[in-house]
């Protein structure tokens, strides 16, 4: 079922969302200051490409001082907008029975998009 869900996700827009995250992540990595943020966007791109069967777990440095500072900067610069996008799309998808699994994946991505530092995808 995970494979079928991932294939449908990929065909119905997951590839486009993943490419946007990846391209913006690479652009952020072109600057020295943007490298940590670019790496987090590339991490989100990986989840956006193949979300079914993956979970977000606390990493080894979750709750560390640097993770908290970077997450605060991330939230202030654009994390809230990205998370609100995923929550809105997830809520719209959950209005139909067929869209519920896809909506739940958007909610999972919203969590990662809000606070990506210190999290890992398993």
Query: Which tens digit of pLDDT belongs to each residue from 14-40?
Result: 899 999 999 999 999 999 999 999 999
Token pair, residue 38, equals 């670019």
Radius of gyration in angstroms for the set of CA atoms belonging to the chain, rounded to a whole number? 14
Question: Is the model's pLDDT at 1 over the cut of 90?
Answer: no
Nearest to 74 by CA among 36, 20, 102, 100: 36
Q: What is the pLDDT of residue 108?
A: 92
Question: Is the model's pLDDT at 11 over the cut of 80?
Answer: yes
Q: Fill in the DSSP letter of residue 6.
A: H
Mean pLDDT (the chain) is 90
Answer left, alpha or beta for residue 63, where phi above 0 means left and psi between -120 and 50 means alpha. left
Q: What is the pLDDT of residue 78?
A: 86
| pTM for the predicted model, two decimal places | 0.87
Q: What is the pLDDT of residue 86?
A: 92
Q: What is the mean pLDDT of residues 40-65?
A: 87
Q: Which residue has the higher pLDDT, 14 or 88?
A: 88
Q: What is the mean pLDDT of residues 59-66?
A: 78
Q: Each residue of 19-46: b (16+ CB within 10 Å) or e? A: eebbebbeebbeeeeeebbbebbbbbbe
Q: What is the pLDDT of residue 32?
A: 92
Sequence-ordered alpha helix ranges (H) in the chain: 2-9, 15-29, 35-49, 65-74, 80-93, 100-114
CB contact at 8 A, 44 and 112: yes
Nearest to 119 by CA among 44, 29, 48, 19: 44
């Amino acid at each position: 079922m995970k494979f079928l869900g991932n294939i449908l996700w990929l065909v119905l827009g997951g590839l486009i969302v993943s490419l946007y995250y990846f391209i913006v992540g690479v652009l952020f990595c072109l600057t020295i200051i943007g490298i940590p943020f670019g790496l987090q966007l590339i991490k989100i791109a990986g989840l956006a490409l193949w979300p079914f069967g993956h979970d977000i777990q606390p990493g080894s440095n979750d709750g560390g001082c640097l993770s908290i500072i970077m997450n605060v900067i991330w939230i202030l610069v654009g994390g809230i907008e990205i998370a609100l996008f995923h929550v809105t799309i997830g809520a719209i998808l959950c209005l139909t029975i067929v869209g519920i699994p896809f909506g739940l994946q958007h909610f999972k991505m919203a969590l990662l998009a809000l606070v990506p530092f210190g999290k890992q995808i398993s």
